[in-house]
Amino acid sequence: TQEMQARFDLKDKNNQLAIQELELAREKQQKQISTIVAGLLLALGLTVTVFLILRSKTARILRRQNEIIDKALKEKELLLKEIHHRVKNNLQFISSLLNLQSRHIEDEKALSALRESRSRVQAMSLIHQNLYQGHLTTGVNAGEYLDQLIDTVLDSYNVSGKKVELKKVIDPIRMDIETAIPIGLIVNELICNAIKHAFSETESGQLGVTFLNQGDTLLLQVEDDGKGLANPDLVTNSGSFGFRLINLLLEKLKATLHVQSKPGTSVTLVIQEFQLVSET
């Protein structure tokens, strides 16, 4: 009996040792799992921290670069405005010189040539004025520019005294300067020509200017109800400086010109080479 009790006690002791070993193994395994989880969490935390630091640094760099770009763009815009302002002032000075010179000239042909030259200078000056006064330094507002140009030409010829009724239909588009200059010069020449010839024998009349954006082309039309032309075809082949200038500008704009006398005179241009500027 004592031997059996001893064996039982030994077996029970062995079982307790086995249970203790299992508990120790389980605790060890739990510690290992906890260590691994803690390591993973630490690694994840470090990764997130590094990511946030890098993202913050990248954001600061991008913000700084954007600030530099914005500053450069503003400086460029201010510089362009200043350039346009100075060009406009220089052209105005030339216009004033021509006006001053015209006061001492009695020959009608020479006086007419000076007046026409002054009008062309003013046509270009108004473009630069439009650019430095507007919110875009690369685009000329067609409506504002042509309104100013037409009024300037009419004033220079004292047209108000002849009671010429002006009708304008102008699309509010923005042109780049390479498009605006030739169009402005052409409008200037056509209006000057109408004032000099269409209404030379009358005290009243109508003058119409149409400028439309037709998608692939621009339509420019200047018409009057004056005395008209005996032979409209001779206009494009005229040896005058004004129409030689128009023909050169037509080539630049890849434009076609059609002259019609009905009575009165209608000059229509279809312009194929042009560049518009977005408002944004």
**Architecture (CATH level 2) of domain 105-271:** 2-Layer Sandwich (3.30)
pLDDT of residue 25: 83
Mean pLDDT by 10 residues, the chain (280 residues): 69 77 84 88 91 91 90 81 84 87 85 86 87 73 90 81 80 89 92 79 79 94 81 63 87 91 86 83
pTM of the model: 0.71
pLDDT of residue 269: 94
HEC string of the chain equals: CHHHHHHHHHHHHHHHHHHHHHHHHHHHHHHHHHHHHHHHHHHHHHHHHHHHHHHHHHHHHHHHHHHHHHHHHHHHHHHHHHHHHHHHHHHHHHHHHHHHHHCCCCCHHHHHHHHHHHHHHHHHHHHHHHHHHCCCCCEEEHHHHHHHHHHHHHHHCCHHHHCEEEEEEECCCEEEHHHHHHHHHHHHHHHHHHHHHHCCCCCCEEEEEEEEECCCCEEEEEEECCCCCCCCHHHHCCCCHHHHHHHHHHHHHCEEEEEEECCCEEEEEEECCCCECCCC
pLDDT of residue 61: 92
